[in-house]
Structure 1
Amino acid sequence: MAELSLEIRELRGRLYDGGGSEPIEQLHAQGKLTARERLRLLFDKDQPTVELGLLIAHDLYDGQAPGAGVVTTLGSVSGRDVIVVANDATVRAGAWWPETITKILRAQEVAMRCCIPIIYLIDSAGVNLPYRSGVFPGQYGAARIFYYNAVMRRYLRIPQLAAVMGPCLAAGAYLPALSDVILMVEGTSFMGFGDPDLAKKITGEMLDTEELGGARAHTEVSAVAHYVTESDEACLERLRALVSELPAQESLLSRTATPPQRLSYELYDLIPDDHRQPYDMQSILECILDGEPLQEFQPDHAQEIICGTGLLAGHPLGVIANARGTFKSSDGDSIRFGGVIYAASARKVA
């Protein structure tokens, strides 16, 4: 178990580097920050953050899509809980893979369920064309991102702030356009359905990127965007100022919690290397939940499954856990095995 934990930490470290040192250097040479550098400047210092979906797609596409090219993180900005979607431009220029859609949709659903603002840090070359057949089709394809945009803006009134900090091409331009506030970075941002080469093929006129879809074009001519900033740092500072103007609410991330009854490193001894071996789920829960004991529901019935309520990091929650081992049935006439859901187990969970 300890070796597996070390392996996961090493994998996490590699994924934090995104596409590697060379793309990072190229971004810096353009005067841009990486997605994680932007997040560090955006979030409040010394406050907890929770990243969602770090391991998604890390073992697909021959390792070319760490994190699916997007970082989705729950954190605090100006004392307010927010969820942030940040394109990782070190991974294929932030292009969308099929799993990128999954991560963005999950972040939007967190915003809707928790009623917290969502911030998009956009730096993306658009859809990864070789995999476009997996990006748009289906009920949960890319178009659902824009559907959620509209639902949050029109019906749920959840603030959406978009910062275009690099390219924002083709269908991806719908995402900021459907947000409440749009910021652009002068000199490095571009928003449009096509680049200057495509515009020349259609109109015969040659324009540079700034004229066609740069920060000034969208704040002075089209009026799609609302703020121009001179750098990534200034853009993130403006975002923090805008979020500070939103109503404050109780934080989801910083509640008072009591330590668990047992030390977390005891999990290494409690969980066997072979998952087929039995282990004590009650002891495992004592390593995870806050110090107050689990309030178990029907503890003497269908003992192969544990149901109850407890606290985790100060948050009340329900617990459903398979107990491992062998147990007598409620009538005492038969043996039941942990990890198997029987009719009585299902009724208890329901």
Structure 2
Amino acid sequence: MAETPRTSSSAPPDTPPSGATGSPDGDPAGRLRTLSDELVELRSTLEKGGGERRIQRQHDQGKLTARERGATLLDDDSSFAEVGLLVAHDLYDGKAPGAGVVTGVGRVHGREVVVVANDATVKAGSWWPETITKILRAQEIAMRCRIPILYLVDSAGVNLPYQGGVFPGQYGAARIFYYNSIMRRYLRVPQFSAVMGPCIAGGAYLPALSDSIIMVEGTSFMGLGGPNLVKGATGQVVESEELGGARVHTEVSGVAHYRVPDDEACLAKLRELVRELPVPDTALAVPAEGPPPARDPEDLFDLLPDDHRQPYDMREVLGCILDQGALDEFQADRAREMICGTGHIDGVPVGIITNARGLVQDPRGGRPTFGGIVYTESAEKVAFFIDTMNRQRRPLLFVQ
């Protein structure tokens, strides 16, 4: 039975706006819609990676793009929660959209997986300093959630002019390989690599430390140095395929485990490997789709003020997010400036932590508090709630 929003006098809504939502032009919703449209346009541009010309070049080589690979890999009905699309988009004169890597969470055969896909349309998929940050973040998600991580490799290695920002420090490129080892040796988090293009220099360690490696015949290469480096160092002329191609690594070196003819077959094999994984006891069931929110999400444009410093009703905002707008509030009578509770989003049970907006009156006649400020009582309330949600293994949504 669906829960209903708590509206009793013991849990009054936040102080409603009183003329506070006005903006200089008198149209806060219009301003927010403009910002939203700009974000949608920016996303559309960034999702094209290096642009149409480089996408066509990828196709001419018989390869799919990073996003096409991701779409082929994931279930048809799977969403893709991308992480870090805007990273580095305003750096390097706009030459590094997404830092040349696509990272996020989706589903394969109904099972949640983390995907890390090099975007070869952006500087041949080379690693920028921000690429390291995105890959590490993806690995941390896989480790914390104990879900498989899939690497779709097509990279020319480190972007040498920026290598000074790639290697140094505790969170430099070497930490990627440290996480590889931790997942493989201690956490037992499945790691599969699909090498569908070049995989050169230090970047070759990443698939080499995975549980299984798939290589595409004719287009993939894996090695610490390419033919040009070999020629420069030894004078020997050798082709890429015989130096580090799919056949060499599956028949001679034994580094790779499966050889396939093209990208489509590679991704099909990757799906097969995920399907054959045993389901851990800790896996969360994927629920059926839940009922819609109580309010149209488009109402958020009218509920949120143009000036973020102005008050608004946070419970009305949650009504646009939660299934049927139903919030079962936790400790509703204590520390009212912080709102904690449980609900569902698309059928998934979640815990919600948010702060009230504006002045919050004390029903006992005490001193009012302000939403957005963490007091001693609110800190205790939130800490206990987080601990409870952790024991119940519920994901947390922070609306700040």
Name which of 221, 226, 248 aligns with 2:257.
Answer: 226
User: Could you tell me whether the CA contact under 8 Å between 1:298 and 1:307 is conserved in 2?
Assistant: yes
1:269-310 alpha-carbon deviations (Å, 9 max, x no partner): 100111111111011011112226222222233222212222
Equivalent in the alignment of 1:298: 331
1:199 equivalent in alignment to 2:230? yes
Greater Cα shift, 300-309 or 80-89: 300-309
Equivalent in the alignment of 1:124: 155
Alignment of 1:225-244 (within 5 A): 225-244=256-275
1:285 equivalent in alignment to 2:326? no
1:318 equivalent in alignment to 2:351? yes
Equivalent in the alignment of 2:112: 81
Superposition TM-score, scaled by structure 1 size: 0.94
Cα drift, residue 334 of structure 1:
2.9
Cα drift, residue 251 of structure 1:
6.2
Gaps of 5+ in 1: none
Alignment of 1:41-56 (within 5 A): 41-56=72-87
Greater Cα shift, 189-198 or 284-293: 284-293
Gaps of 5+ in 2: 1-31, 384-400
How many residues get paired? 350
Identity %: 64
User: Could you tell me whether the CA contact under 8 Å between 1:81 and 1:251 is conserved in 2?
Assistant: no
Greater Cα shift, 68-77 or 302-311: 302-311
Amino acid in the other structure paired with 1:10:
E
Cα drift, residue 185 of structure 1:
1.0
Alignment of 1:19-30 (within 5 A): 19-30=50-61
Superposition TM-score, scaled by structure 2 size: 0.83
Q: How far apart are the structure 2 equivalents of 1:172 and 1:255?
A: 39
User: Could you tell me whether the CA contact under 8 Å between 1:270 and 1:284 is conserved in 2?
Assistant: yes
User: Could you tell me whether the CA contact under 8 Å between 1:34 and 1:88 is conserved in 2?
Assistant: yes
User: Could you tell me whether the CA contact under 8 Å between 1:323 and 1:339 is conserved in 2?
Assistant: yes
The 3 A distance-change label for structure 1 pair 238 and 340 is same
Equivalent in the alignment of 1:247: 278
Cα drift, residue 333 of structure 1:
4.2
Please, what is the CA RMSD of the aligned residues? 1.9
Cα drift, residue 247 of structure 1:
2.4
Equivalent in the alignment of 1:40: 71
Higher relative contact order structure (alpha carbons within 8 Å, sequence separation ≥ 6): 2
Amino acid in the other structure paired with 1:269:
D
Greater Cα shift, 57-66 or 114-123: 57-66
Equivalent in the alignment of 1:216: 247
1:275 equivalent in alignment to 2:290? no
Amino acid in the other structure paired with 2:299:
E
Equivalent in the alignment of 2:371: 338
Equivalent in the alignment of 1:138: 169
User: Could you tell me whether the CA contact under 8 Å between 1:302 and 1:329 is conserved in 2?
Assistant: no
Say which SS state the counterpart of residue 320 (structure 2) adopts.
Answer: helix
Cα drift, residue 343 of structure 1:
3.0
Q: How far apart are the structure 2 equivalents of 1:331 and 1:129?
A: 65
1:122-157 alpha-carbon deviations (Å, 9 max, x no partner): 001111122222222222221111111111111222
